[in-house]
Amino acid sequence: MKFFLYFALIIFFSSFVFSQDQAVVLRIATVVPEGSTWVKSLQNLDKEIRKTMNVQLIVYAGGTAGESKAIMEKIKYGQLDGGGFIGSSLGEICSKIRIMDIPYQYHSLEEWKYVFKNIRTDLTEEFEKANFMVLGWGHGGFVDVYAKQPIKTLADFQAAKIWFSPGDPVMEDLFRELKIQGIPLETSAIFPALQTGLVNCVYNTPYGLMAMQWHTHVRYCTKYPIVNPLGAVVLTKAAYQRIPAKFRNLFLRTCKKHFGALGEDVEEKNTQAVQDLQNRFKIQFLDPDPAWLEETARCGKKIGEGQIGKLYSSEFYQRVLKIQEEFRSQRK
């Protein structure tokens, strides 16, 4: 009898010790495709934290866990622990983040980065208030218009069968102001829509266009940047707190190391993608008509002001304008 009791105690304590050594598994999803810079950063992070703190990332890339809206729902119900998002999806957590996505608001990538640097801490704190940890920030680079036919004027743009991302208040305002009838499609439906001709015009970054394989069905690019989508990898606080307390700061530092240069890496990828699109795939790059530029400048300002009280406060909007003016005055 004593032998069996002794044996049972050994089994119990062995199981306890083993459970203490079990890895913390964090499930992260994104619509960004496998092989992209974002997903590679997640995979490299996974390799390091498995060794240093017995934490594992399970990465569902390329929309295998659903579109961004579905991923958010799964996070809400505890089926996923976090995700990599851009634009309107992040706006569901922190609406004021969309101030970085106002169309035609920022005149250069350097200006955009200067504004973001000055408000990044505020945004991070807003995410934490909403019970999310930001593991890393990034951006996609400026988005241009790509089409099967030349688009040089606003009338050309209005006549195109252009894809439209449903449920995004900022892009909805843009399409409304420019009187564009977009075709609402989820990201996964765009490639077949280009194949069949349901759409003949899309907007994306050069690298994003190639990563999604959309470049195989367009012939022209209108070189007129619309927006530089802000992105982030986020994790719920509940999932973060599953990481042993002694490893949490190390985990965040490791995330910062892997995601810190993400924006710069994407910028390099965009530069290379432009060269590939021109030289290998013979896509023609066009300049827009000056009248279009004037119309969109007016449109961007109206959209920015129109979201006051909806996505962000008047005070926050004015603060961003002041930061922009500060940047522009330094460059004169």
pLDDT in the model for residue 18? 37
User: Band of the pLDDT at 21, cuts 50, 70, 90?
Assistant: low
CB atoms under 10 Å from CB of 248, counted, come to: 16
Give 170's Cβ-side CA count (13 Å radius): 28
pLDDT in the model for residue 242? 97
Over the stretch 296-318, which tens digit does the pLDDT of each residue have? 888 889 999 999 999 999 999 99
Give the type of residue at 146.
Y
**Residues whose CB falls within 8 Å of the CB of residue 131, separated by 6 or more in sequence, listed in order:** 236, 237, 238
pLDDT in the model for residue 17? 40
Domains of the chain: 22-331 (3.40.190.170)
**Residues whose CB falls within 8 Å of the CB of residue 75, separated by 6 or more in sequence, listed in order:** 81, 82, 83, 236
Over the stretch 150-197, which tens digit does the pLDDT of each residue have? 999 999 999 999 998 878 889 889 999 989 989 999 888 999 999 999
Whose tokens are 């843009």? That residue is: 174
**Residues linked to residue 271 through DSSP beta bridges, in sequence order:** none
User: Band of the pLDDT at 19, cuts 50, 70, 90?
Assistant: very low
Reply yes or no on whether the pLDDT at 114 is more than 90: yes
Q: Which two tokens stand for residue 106?
A: 């920022």
Reply yes or no on whether the pLDDT at 4 is more than 60: no
9-18, 144-153, 267-276: least confidently modelled range:
9-18
Task: Report the chain's mean pLDDT, rounded to a whole number.
Answer: 90
User: Band of the pLDDT at 331, cuts 50, 70, 90?
Assistant: confident
Reply yes or no on whether the pLDDT at 265 is more than 90: no
Over the stretch 29-52, which tens digit does the pLDDT of each residue have? 999 889 888 899 999 999 999 999
Q: Which two tokens stand for residue 88?
A: 């309107």
Displacement of CA 14 from its chain's centroid (Å):
44
Reply yes or no on whether the pLDDT at 7 is more than 80: no
Displacement of CA 227 from its chain's centroid (Å):
12
